[in-house]
A and B are shown apart, each in its own frame.
Chain A
């Protein structure tokens, strides 16, 4: 039942996405701009980590893609709520978890596609990384996107009006980006900022992907990254399912 319902909803949302090439390609535009116009500035700079500047920047851009793209996914559910589509679905016997998974799996698939585009562009720019590391990076992007999209849906359903959603997401996403060291490793930060960044779960993900991009797989950093991603996913699914079951939706 869960698999069937999720597949039906995933198919519906994928078809909607495929009808909107604008959404598919322009979502990847911001990280690509960073890649083209910011990446070359870092070449040759000491970044406090193993690997060259592309191996440091591209993992950050991948997670930036997930962070900003998935965080705003909630706008779609706000529209569905306003159209009455969500309520119509909640009266059917469809699994509440499927209501969440159908959407979030589409989001994860979309951002994975954009992540592949980004990595292909980075390879042309000079990125060299092991295939296993690149695949691990995609895995982290998928988990981050899945989790953040779920939490974005939760926030969208709980806020009283859509006008509050955008500013709320910006307020949450911007410090998340700065404190997780997406652009530059937090190893370059002063002590107090480095300490503060350890409270930001995305930091562990980006550090793990940077390790993967230099071929370091069996490290404590990788373990922390996996644990942070697993915790984030568990939290997102639990809270998300509860919200879709509840009256707020």
Chain B
């Protein structure tokens, strides 16, 4: 069953230099329960597509259904069912971990008691219990990323968007986050759509990959299928064959506070 279905989804930005066609008519189907990886060079249209599908950016063309709701006609219903974790996160440095989680739950309509219980549960699941009453400024990059993830999961979404979730994390934190994403899918049936510049991450984590280049889908399939199709030993080689260039350089700066 498709949890995302798009047809000719497009986004054009008007700039002083003229029109920029960031996404040029993407047709996409994402099945419920899969982990889908979006790959592509910088400026390929990955984040723009994610922002459209998560209702942050209105498309300028095409149509999309997300979690059974029309993206344009019923964005509020879409928002109730999706979670979104932005590349730079979304944690307020003036708050504690607990207050962030509780307010997030309240914004999804939970009562104060429910939101507090949900915060405690998420903290337990994401190893944040000891940090609940700590200021968010006191968290390490990995801890902050786990909090970002917890905020995106507060309402138990059927579909979770992760925009470059492991950028700036050390290898240990990356591996822990991969394990979390797999657990979400395996234990809760959550569909995960993520963008990444790390090809090893995409290879290890995603059931299926969509490679975007120049605002269009250049290739899609499982990591194994893409490698086989292009006679490549590694996903890096397959990516090179598809896009004609290597993946974008990885930004190794820590996640912004």
Contact = CB atoms under 8 A, between A and B. Distances in A.
Nearest to B79: A93
Interface in B98-117: 99, 103-104, 106-109
A87 B104 contact: no
Interface string B67-104: 00000000010011011101011111111000100011
Interface residues on B, range: 20 to 34
Contact of B107 (A5, A80, A83): A5
A85 B91 contact: yes
Interface string A2-37: 001100110010011001000000000000000000
A247 B56 contact: yes
A88 B79 CA distance: 11
B88 A84 contact: yes
B92 A91 contact: no
Given A89-B107, A92-B79, A83 B58 contact: no
Contacts of B95: 16
Nearest to A84: B90
Interface string A59-91: 000000000000000000000100111011111
Contacts of A83: 89-93
A202 B35 CA distance: 56
Contact of A4 (B82, B89, B109): B109
B94 A93 contact: no
A9 B103 CA distance: 8
A84 B103 contact: no
A8 B92 contact: no
B151 interface: yes
B79 A87 contact: no
B55 interface: yes
B166 interface: no
A84 B82 contact: no
Interface residues of A, number: 22
A85 B79 contact: no
B240 interface: no
A247 B103 CA distance: 23
Nearest to B90: A88
Contacts of A109: none
A5 B79 CA distance: 15
Contact of A91 (B84, B89, B91, B93): B84
B175 interface: no
A94 interface: yes
Contact of A93 (B54, B90, B103, B108): B108
B94 to A, nearest CB: 5
B93 A88 contact: no
B237 to A, nearest CB: 35
Nearest to A93: B79
Nearest to A12: B103
Nearest to A80: B92
B57 interface: yes
B56 A84 contact: no
B133 to A, nearest CB: 14
Interface in A88-135: 88-94
A15 to B, nearest CB: 8
A154 B67 CA distance: 32
Contacts of A5: 107
A62 to B, nearest CB: 29
Nearest to B108: A92
A84 B152 CA distance: 13
Contacts of B90: 83-85, 87-88
B140 to A, nearest CB: 17
Given A19-B94, A83-B89, A87-B86, 16 more contacts: A8-B103, A12-B103, A15-B99, A80-B92, A83-B90, A83-B92, A84-B86, A84-B89, A84-B90, A87-B56, A89-B107, A90-B55, A91-B54, A92-B107, A93-B79, A93-B108
Interface of A: 1, 4-5, 8-9, 12, 15-16, 19, 80, 83-85, 87-94, 247
